[in-house]
A and B are shown apart, each in its own frame.
Chain A
Amino acid sequence: MITFFSIAVDAVAYGMALFIICIGLSLMMGLMRVVNLAHGAFAMIGGYLASYATMQLGFGYFAGIALAVLGTVLIALPLEPLLYRRIYGKPELMQVLMTVGIAFAAIGIVNYLMGPTLKTIPLPPILATPVDIGFRSIAGHRLFVIASGIVVVAALWIAIEYTTLGIKLRAAIEKPDMARALGVRTNAYFLGCYVVATALAAFGGAVGAEFLPIEPFYALRYIVTFLVVVSVGGAGSIVGSLLACLLLGAIDVTGRYLVPDFGNFFFYLCVIVVIFAYPNGLMGRAR
């Protein structure tokens, strides 16, 4: 029983870190119908900026993360009207080509400016010390990641399901022409959705750096994992993404604890089973 709880704690922490990064990708793919392979690049930029702000500029952890999110949004903002707006509604191949190009460009630029070595974001003492939770000790930052994930889930869910903003956003996405005729400024809503997705990527890259270390090829190394989460959860679904992250995190962590020699076998087996049973993902809507 203690082993079970012990694994569960790790699984939830890992799953939440994945969720914070992936939910932005899920929103872009599900709501805006954009296959944004540059999402990992935005997470990477967030991580590098957080590392730069804390290591070089001497900001604290929380201020560093806030600056990283802000900085990433500022960097990504001009890309929406310049590049992304041109690929809305275009064939997926075009979207893939353009966004993967952005990812490669980001890798090159970030390596040139920040250097090819590993980067860390030093944790404040309160998050760095292991916390004794009764049956085992857990790193403080894992609890922080779990809490952050819960806040993100709640905020997004309320914003999209229950506010006027969310209703207009869903309208702008479902029937752009009709929404525009009714006076909804669709471009502004698309931009808003893009900004939220980017900000979440940067936030996830920074707080998830303990799980997925910030390194030069981050943008490509983890994009497969992110895409797997989105397809298992169902693109655009917040609850689906959360379920997918918790499920895949649990399978991955349990497999690694009990039978490490099997590697990623159970992870991908689970993906195959879910996609077989639910072709649109756990909570995805049929197109």
Chain B
Amino acid sequence: MSKTIVSRLKRFGAAVAMLAAGAAGAAQADTIKVGIIGPYSGPFALQGKNFQAGVEAYLAQNGKNVAGHTIEIVYRDLPGANPQQARALAQELIVREKVQYLGGVYFTPDALAITPLLEQANVPLVIFNAATSAIMNSSPLVVRTSFTTAQTTTPLGKAAIERGTKKFITVVSDYGPGIDAENAFKKAIEAAGGQVAESIRMPMTTNEFSPIMQRVRGAGVEGLFAFLPSGPPTLGFVKAFNDAGLRQAGIRFFSTGDLTQESDLPALGEAASGMLTGFHYAVSHDSAVNRAFVEAAGKALGDVNQLSFPAVGAYDGMRVIAKMIEATAGKQEAAKAVAAVKGMAWESPRGPVKIDAETRHITQTIYLREVAKDATGKWINKEIQSFPEQGDPGLAK
């Protein structure tokens, strides 16, 4: 009985507080526009849909009102890595749509094309995905809520050595994040007393991996580390690993979570079973916050099986943007907004996270995960070890 009274009082109190805040803000109640750039069409449309799902999940849970200001989202479609178009879209959002905040951005080159605009336009950019360390150095008005390749790869190297694999071959896609992954893994392995015998960089357009697997077999190693950006080729890569008989030969397969994102697991299934990956978010992460997030984002997507990691970057990115709006009382003051989120800490669907005050990159727990079946027979990334409070080793001087 007393319990319900207390909860009613609490709710009443909350309502009063909201009204008071509304009255205080009424004088300046307005609409604040947030421009979000992502791939909503084309080959990466699924990742863009996940951006949108993350944003909508946040707004559904927290409402569109922040301290009396209404958030309005303006989406802009950028189907592939295209710096010129990214710059043009950002300019259009700033000049014509008069957005106060920019968010999104799936690819590193696009992010690097946008960051030179920020200071002049007095607009902060919150990156939901692009994962190259160097982006943070390009402007003081960038904040990142995703991850970097170095961040997810470094603990994986350590875990691999701990599990008794000492001699490796690395195979990565030949572009920025791939080379980041190769370097970070090599560094982590060598620091822990292991050895990378050979490194292969393959062109991004590769779709026949059998010859590469023959090379892996010929290298006489115990473990393979691979990085490919999430997408159709990862399926062929994992299958080729099995087809070449490398799994039977006892070679262990390590990679970042890009290769086993949840939306691809039904297709990979048995072929990926037992693969070890290092990543910041698994849809199966066991926490109340994550369960609520998965439900809300699944609803926004229409099919929870299409939920993948870009959604959580967008979800947390919206939280950061909301905090910025609150801290500047709705005014367009980019430097003050960014200063307000430095050191900001909260419970994310991926676990406890914090915006590092110095680098403006997210500090978070990186998990070692194994591809396995859950109780209902669905393939998941099962978290088996965690490395808390990982910063970005790629930014450490």
Whether B211 and A253, one on each chain, are in contact in the complex, defined by CB atoms closer than 8 angstroms, is yes
Set of chain A residues within 8 Å of B245, measured between Cβ atoms: 130, 137
In-complex Cβ contact of A261 among B174, B267, B268, B303 (8 A): B174
A118-B232, A215-B232, A253-B210 are known contacts. Are A261 and B201 too (CB-CB below 8 A)?
Answer: yes
Give the nearest-CB partner of A138 in chain B.
Answer: B243
Tell me which residues from 176 to 190 in chain B have a Cβ below 8 Å from any Cβ of chain A.
none
A217: CB under 8 A from chain B?
Answer: yes
Is A192 part of the contact surface with B, judged by Cβ < 8 Å?
A: no
Q: Is the CB of B208 within 8 A of A10?
A: yes
Please name 27 pairs of A and B residues whose Cβ atoms are closer than 8 Å in the assembled complex, sorted by A: A10-B214, A13-B210, A115-B303, A115-B306, A116-B46, A116-B306, A118-B267, A120-B268, A130-B245, A130-B248, A137-B245, A139-B210, A212-B207, A213-B207, A215-B232, A217-B43, A221-B43, A221-B232, A253-B208, A253-B210, A257-B211, A260-B203, A261-B200, A261-B201, A263-B174, A263-B206, A264-B205
Contact status B202-A118, CB under 8 Å: no
Interface size on A, residues (CB 8 A): 36
Instruction: Point out which of A119, A221, A257 has the most chain B C-beta atoms below 10 A from its C-beta.
Output: A257
State whether the Cβ of B83 lies closer than 8 Å to any Cβ in chain A: no
Q: Are A120 and B306 in contact (CB under 8 A)?
A: no
Q: Is B239 at the interface (CB under 8 A from chain A)?
A: yes
Contacts of B200 in A (CB 8 A): 260-261
Assuming the contacts A210-B239, A215-B232, A217-B43, asked whether A137 and B211 have C-beta atoms less than 8 A apart, the reply is no
Is A185's beta carbon under 8 Å from chain B? no
For residues 129 through 143 of chain A, which have their beta carbon under 8 Å from a beta carbon of chain B? 130, 136-139, 141-142
User: Which residue, of B215, B243, B303, B306, has the highest number of chain A Cβ atoms within 10 A?
Assistant: B243
Residue from the set B231, B264, B267, B305 with the largest chain A CB neighbour count within 10 Å: B267
A256 touches B212 (CB 8 A): yes
A7 interface residue per 8 A CB criterion: yes
**Chain A interface residues (CB < 8 Å from chain B):** 6-7, 10, 13-14, 111, 115-120, 130, 136-139, 141-142, 210-213, 215-217, 221, 252-254, 256-257, 260-261, 263-264
Count class of interface residues, chain B: 35 or more
Interchain CB contact under 8 A, B207 and A260:
no
Q: Would you call A213 and B49 a contact (CB within 8 A)?
A: no
Given contacts A119-B267, A120-B267, A221-B43, contact A256 B206 (CB under 8 A): yes
- Measured in the bound complex, the distance between the Cα atoms of B158 and A145 in whole Å is 41
A10→B211 contact, CB < 8 A: yes
Q: Which of B206, B207, B244, B267 contacts A137 (CB 8 A)?
A: B244
Task: Please tell me which one of the listed residues B212, B236, B264 contacts residue A211 in the complex, with CB atoms under 8 A apart.
Answer: B236
A212 vs B235: C-alpha distance when bound (angstroms): 10
Contact among B201, B207, B214, B305 for A257, CB-based, below 8 A = B214
The answer, yes or no, to whether B335 is at the interface (CB within 8 Å) is: no
B201 x A260 contact (CB < 8 A): yes
Given contacts A10-B211, A120-B267, are A264 and B244 in contact (CB under 8 A)? no
- The B216-265 residues at the A interface (CB cut-off 8 A) are 231-233, 235-236, 239, 243-245, 248, 263-264
Shortest CB distance A2–B (Å): 10
Contact between A118 and B205, CB atoms less than 8 A apart: no
With A116-B46, A130-B243, A217-B43 in contact, do A211 and B202 touch (Cβ < 8 Å)? no
B89 at the interface (CB under 8 A from A): no
> Which residue on chain B has the smallest CB distance to residue A14?
B208
Q: List, in ascending order, chain B residues with CB within 8 A of A115's CB.
A: 303, 306
Q: Is B340 positioned at the interface, with any CB of A under 8 Å from its CB?
A: no
Q: Which 5 A-B pairs have the closest CB atoms?
A: A263-B203, A139-B243, A257-B211, A215-B232, A118-B267
In the assembled complex, B388 has its CB within 8 A of some CB on chain A: no
Chain B's closest residue to A224 (CB) is B205
CA distance A118 to B243 in the complex (A): 19
